[in-house]
Chain A
């Protein structure tokens, strides 16, 4: 009995290439399938990359001074609430995808995970002449934006030249803020007690 559908499929094959004229395509489902957005806030962030760099420098400093607190609470337990806030704040400002290994300061405050190819090292060769994306023609290429964003930043143009490592998928949906803080604290600790 199991052979029947296979045999049926074999005979139906020549027709399979043709789509019926009235094929139903639901809204928003296409190869270029992301809900249309205005990208307003994302572009605002890029325009104010220098300001955001300044804010982040203060903010990460503050987060690091709170290290004893995170330690007391436990980084594990702090993860959920911090992630909750981080996801919303960065989601609003950068359309953050929570890759968990934020490199916004190397990409002119334009989140590279919004690139349909998730390129972390620069634009692909498919960028349209108007600076828009090859895959999603309505979206300004995140790397054209990144190049713009890095210009006013203090470290932007140096950082964007760094070759980034591949994304560690196991860190998805984790807090980059806490990871950076924990690493920085560990680095400080190591500097204080070089014997260990």
Chain B
């Protein structure tokens, strides 16, 4: 890999050499600190225990993104856990961004997961509050919310910088993670939002990813205040973008997905288009082109839910990478053999305990 300095020459899945001024040994932080326009994408988590599904879904982004977000039951819908996805991705050398939501785990579980994930090579963590359980497929679940995103940031920062748990108990080897948070400039109270970012930075956020941006003037206003406060120098800001599949999807999203703001003009533009899907992609590219020019924006976060295959095209056409080629996984000679064998193993029937016990009951 001559074109990418962000690879460990001995083993692509191993951590990188620590650099001065860097807290993590990951690729994303290096890209951002070099001042390059970063691109991250969101992996649609499988409802399955098959590792190959995760690999396939990550391979779509190969060579187009600097980091892959592993969502933590986003929208309160149950999927493969972010820790699990991250563990798989680090094996392959990808740079996952592990999302941690406060909705499902208390402080004991979260701190344990942070250590576990860091040990597996996760270099980026994104601290979130999480959507309410009412938004998901299991509204009867108990909402935990033991920490909030702010105290979570502070907790992980303390673990990393002061080498101790929230309780004060020492950690022998701290988790070297690049800490992220989420922002939503598109929800009230609007004039509190920049201050909230300041608070998140004070709590430990080093990069932030925003909610879907479909209202660029609103983002501009927010970013103006952020730049006035000097926050863009203390934190890398990645703006969330994504293609809308149709006007219908857009309407559904704005009334059902918490915190998504889609102006009427966007919906009108989609409705007026002959091919709505293509127009949605076009719109996403247009927004990316506008966003990359805004002062203080360090990158984009592409959330192409169920349209992951378009990420490469969108990133390419928007030209945000300026010809740069992010790290991509070199296939190894034994990859095909391993994949084939894995498929065989996964396809084989395993015993079902209920069936065994049924036999016993019959024989009685």
* Interface residues in chain A, defined as those with a beta carbon under 8 Å from any beta carbon in chain B: 1-4, 6-7, 10, 30-32, 116-129, 131, 134-135, 141, 143-144, 147-148, 160-161, 163-167, 169
Contact = CB atoms under 8 A, between A and B. Distances in A.
Interface stretch (B40-48, B49-57, B146-154): B146-154
A31 B134 contact: yes
B199 interface: yes
A153 B258 CA distance: 31
Ranked 4 nearest A-B pairs via Cβ: A125-B184, A31-B134, A126-B258, A121-B150
Given A117-B145, A166-B107, A123 B189 contact: yes
Contacts of A123: 187-189, 192, 196
B147 A166 contact: yes
A114 to B, nearest CB: 13
A129 B199 contact: no
Interface in B156-174: 166
B199 A135 contact: no
A117 B134 CA distance: 11
A126 B139 CA distance: 17
A161 B211 CA distance: 22
A7 B148 contact: no
A30 B49 CA distance: 31
Q: Which size class do B's interface residues fall under?
A: 35 or more
7 contacts: A3-B354, A3-B361, A116-B132, A121-B199, A125-B187, A163-B154, A163-B203
Contacts of B29: none
B150 A163 contact: yes
Contacts, number: 124
B149 A126 contact: no
B133 interface: yes
Nearest to B364: A1
B357 interface: yes
A9 B202 CA distance: 51
B187 A166 contact: no
A144 B145 CA distance: 19
B7 interface: no
Contacts of A118: 145, 148
B184 A121 contact: no
Nearest to B147: A166
A126 B211 CA distance: 10
Given A119-B148, A144-B188, A163 B199 contact: yes
A125 B258 contact: yes
B265 interface: no
Contact of A127 (B191, B203, B259): B259
Nearest to A163: B203
B151 A6 contact: no
Interface string B228-246: 0000000000000000000
> Of A124, A160, A165, A169, which is in contact with the most chain B CB atoms at under 10 Å from its CB?
A124
